[in-house]
Structure 1
Amino acid sequence: MEKRIIFISLTLFMMILNNVYAQSGQNTIEKQKFHLGKAGEDGAGYAQAVKVGKTIYISGTVGVGDAATALTNVYNGLQKTLAFYGATFQNVVKENLYTTNIEEMKKHNDIRKKYYNNDFPAATWVQIQRLYMETALVEVELVAVLP
């Protein structure tokens, strides 16, 4: 019985302590954000990239035009975002590619592959009906980890 009372007391104490800690604002995470166009990003409700700890989460970067141009522009844009944090494509651990034409992406995969320099991340490619930007052919989001 005494152990049970001690356990319940300790549990209640921890709940109170966690509540005080949460109310003090100490449970928030530190985010370092990167914006390409803050006004547009705020209007849509996102940040181009957010770094938490050593992990960088990069929002979808879009490409328009023919597949070769769209892919080159997307990966050049992603390269700039990575560079803001001192990262390269060798820090990328996950890639999600969304396109309205998967066959065109497959034909021009050599463009994408050169950015990774044979150090490829886990990747998912999905064909969808359309992207947020109606004229976009491709959108790529990344997760990268700093050493």
Structure 2
Amino acid sequence: MKFSNSIHFGIATLLIAISVSSCDLPQNDVAKNEKNKTETQVEKHSEKPEYFLLRPEVEKAYGYSHAVKIGNSIKISGAVSMDDEGNPTAVGDLEQQMKNCYADLQKVLAHYGCTFDDVVVENVFTTDMSKFLTAAAYRTEIYKNHFPTGSWLGVTELAIPEFMIEIELEVHKTDL
């Protein structure tokens, strides 16, 4: 009986040793992955922001940058329907203002080698939600493969009274 118990004890000890040693390998891999992940995060957080001005004089006068790229992400300020001097265009025509916004946003995306397929967040601010909802189908011409996340917000006013819509974007692209 003692011999049998010794064998069982020996087998149990061997199994425990194998289990413990096999658990060590994935934990070491996890530790290495966590270390690499932390190093990568530090690299990304230490990257210098790159600013882009679509209409430099207008943006300097109002005190904003149209876009800022940090690492693989780009934040794009709200686009409104304006000319190169900052004057409102398509006054009273929300659908045309929306199209003008997307035309400007496309220019910013192109500057960074991106398309609307790279957009992950789109926030729309409008002073007339019912007109926007009527015109929103136009977005299917912009987002051909998928829609981004985002919000549609009705607001009482935008920066200039003639503006009826403002659209801001966030972009993420792994190979920026």
Larger Rg: 2
Contact 1:62 1:136 in 2 (8 A): yes
Among 117, 132, 136, the alignment partner of 2:159 is 132
Among 138, 146, 150, the alignment partner of 1:111 is 138
Corresponding residue of 1:96: 123
Among 139, 148, 161, the alignment partner of 1:121 is 148
Question: Comparing both structures, which one devotes a greater share of its residues to strand?
Answer: 1
Among 49, 74, 79, the alignment partner of 1:61 is 79
**Deviation for aligned residue 1:87:** 0.4
TM-superposition CA deviations, 1:62-103 (whole Å, max 9, x none): 134312211111111111110100000110000110000011
Among 36, 49, 59, the alignment partner of 2:54 is 36
Secondary structure of the structure 1 residue equivalent to 2:77: strand
Unmatched segments (≥5 aa) in structure 1? 1-26
Alignment of 1:50 onto 2:77:
no
Unmatched segments (≥5 aa) in structure 2? 1-44, 82-89
Contact 1:72 1:112 in 2 (8 A): no
Q: Percent identity?
A: 35
Relative to 1, partners in 2 of residues 1:118 and 1:104: Cα closer, same or farther, differing over 3 Å? farther
Q: TM-score, normalised by structure 2?
A: 0.65
In the alignment, residue 40 of structure 1 is paired with which amino acid? V
Corresponding residue of 1:17: none
Cα separation, 1, equivalents of 2:102 and 2:57? 23
**Deviation for aligned residue 1:32:** 1.4
Q: TM-score, normalised by structure 1?
A: 0.77
Question: Comparing both structures, which one devotes a greater share of its residues to helix?
Answer: 2
Root mean square deviation of aligned Cα: 1.5
Which structure 1 residue ranges, 4+ long, deviate > 6 Å from structure 2? none
